[in-house]
Structure 1
Amino acid sequence: MDTPSEALPEPEPELLTRQLAEAAARLYLQPDVHSTVTAVVEQGVDIIGGDAASLTLLGRRGAHELTVASSDRAERADRAQLELAEGPSPAALTARAPVIVDDIATEPRWPRWQDAVADAGFRSLLALPLELGPHYSGALVVLWTLPEQPADRHLAVARLLLRHAAIAIVDARRSSTLREAIDARYQIGLAQGILMERYGLDATQSFELLRRYSRDNNVKLSQVAAGVVRTRALPDARGE
């Protein structure tokens, strides 16, 4: 449940510095992209000071990749932007600049999105774009249940947090890609061993057999290898 945040005094610089350092350390320790994004959303509430937050990642050509939110209502508000192709996140991404809404109820820029989130209970928000390289992007939305809540200090803290978030997400994606590549190579090696033993092939011949099957059947090499490991044979060679 999203509850209104109390009007807290501006944090001392030393406290804010420590909070951001702890947040950065937590982000960099996450094992994958989903965990990293989840940590960013949690910090969006804890450090920035909102009542709820959500973060959406977009892949190549703007394809939706992942949405994480601190509550069901925040997730619905975020997903409505994707479905309607309008809202604060698309605006922030297009302008490559933060978007502040002091009162969602009177916001004229996105009427369909405004109608879709009318019963969500949020009145103000801060949306910031997240730059993740040439092919990936995202947006963080921090929401308040009261109007006119986002202030300059919220924007400053959010920008600092997103600098760490961008680095952590890119690093997590790179690590995941590397792990997938290592796992795929391991599966290919196992599949080669199975084919070499079963059909009397050498290493070069077994790899060429896998590669040719992958090409002829338009199946990824790693998937072909995983199938061989699982069934102990190429699909069209079973039962021979």
Structure 2
Amino acid sequence: MDWARFAQQLASMGRDLLAQGSTDKTVARITASATELVEGCDAAGILVLHGNQVETLAPTHQFAIDSDRLQEQLGEGPCLDAAHTSTGERVFRIPDLTSEQQRWPLYAPRAHRLGVGSMMGFLLFTDEEDLGALNLYSRTPGAFTQDSETAGWLLASHAAIAFSSARTHAQMEHAVATRHLVGEAMGILMGSNHLTEEQAFDLLRRYSQETNIKLREVARRICEQGNLP
């Protein structure tokens, strides 16, 4: 492993990640970087848990999606373990999937049939939050070495910061857009129904609660239709 060259590539990737304009572009650059920088990596994806449901972000190959769906279906697998912080396992490396039938008796043989020979996974986390797991796949057993694991860990450390930053930025943009939309809807209600600002907001809130429709969506409909639906 040429670590001097890798350090230069990692620094370039870090700058590139922060320059991405959206969360989707950021995670796509993360997984693409994994296949470019980590020796032996044929495919990559980021697994995110929503309760018991699995979402695969920016997969570079179909079998990354298939692997995550298989783990969701079976309720077991190394990527699920990495994404569940309660296991304490922030990094895993599986040299040969055919030798892991004791740990994951349902997942391992079926993943091997998908074309997965070896795997690595890294929990993406910051001091404030856990973001999911970056999972790397190879079609070849024994493809990942200790150097591969170190490279993957360094990549994941940079990726977690960029992913968290992009997601925070997106949440802030969404909050600002929602505030503007709600303000516009309140203005419409105040003008058409002779309400005060407080009454208009209370009407919006109560309608949202009674109809089980998000406040942003209620506001959007008011802006489109000129009054409450």
Does TM, scored on the shorter chain, surpass 0.5?
yes
CA distance in 2, matches of 1:145, 1:88: 16
| 2:49 is the counterpart of 1:55 | no
Equivalent residues in 2 for 1:5-24 (5 A)?
Answer: 10-11=1-2, 13-24=3-14
| 2:65 is the counterpart of 1:70 | no
CA distance in 2, matches of 1:202, 1:174: 33
Q: Give SS of 2:151's match.
A: helix
CA positional deviation for 1:34: 2.5
Alpha-carbon deviations, 1:59-79, whole Å to 9, x = none? 4x4653443311112221222
For residue 229 of structure 1, the aligned residue among 220, 223, 229 is 223
For residue 97 of structure 1, the aligned residue among 81, 90, 102 is 90
CA distance in 1, matches of 2:176, 2:62: 36
CA distance in 2, matches of 1:91, 1:139: 9
Corresponding residue of 2:28? 38
CA distance in 1, matches of 2:100, 2:16: 35
Residues 68, 75 of structure 1: 8 Å contact kept: no
Relative to structure 1, the CA distance from residue 116 to residue 45 in structure 2 (aligned partners, 3 Å threshold; closer, same or farther) is: same
TM-score computed with the length of structure 1 as normaliser: 0.84
Relative to structure 1, the CA distance from residue 22 to residue 174 in structure 2 (aligned partners, 3 Å threshold; closer, same or farther) is: same
TM-score computed with the length of structure 2 as normaliser: 0.88
Corresponding residue of 1:213? 207
Task: State the identity as a percent.
Answer: 30
CA distance in 2, matches of 1:68, 1:84: 22
Corresponding residue of 2:109? 115
Equivalent residues in 2 for 1:123-162 (5 A)?
Answer: 123-132=117-126, 136-162=130-156
Relative to structure 1, the CA distance from residue 106 to residue 222 in structure 2 (aligned partners, 3 Å threshold; closer, same or farther) is: same
For residue 26 of structure 1, the aligned residue among 16, 22, 25 is 16
Q: Give SS of 1:147's match.
A: coil
Corresponding residue of 2:168? 174
CA distance in 1, matches of 2:89, 2:24: 23
CA positional deviation for 1:33: 2.6
CA positional deviation for 1:15: 1.3
CA distance in 2, matches of 1:163, 1:55: 14
Residues 52, 71 of structure 1: 8 Å contact kept: yes
> Which 4+ stretches in 1 moved above 4 angstroms?
132-135
CA distance in 2, matches of 1:72, 1:58: 19
Relative to structure 1, the CA distance from residue 195 to residue 52 in structure 2 (aligned partners, 3 Å threshold; closer, same or farther) is: same
CA distance in 2, matches of 1:74, 1:209: 47
Relative to structure 1, the CA distance from residue 145 to residue 218 in structure 2 (aligned partners, 3 Å threshold; closer, same or farther) is: closer
CA distance in 1, matches of 2:111, 2:56: 20
Structure 2: unaligned runs, 5 residues or longer:
none
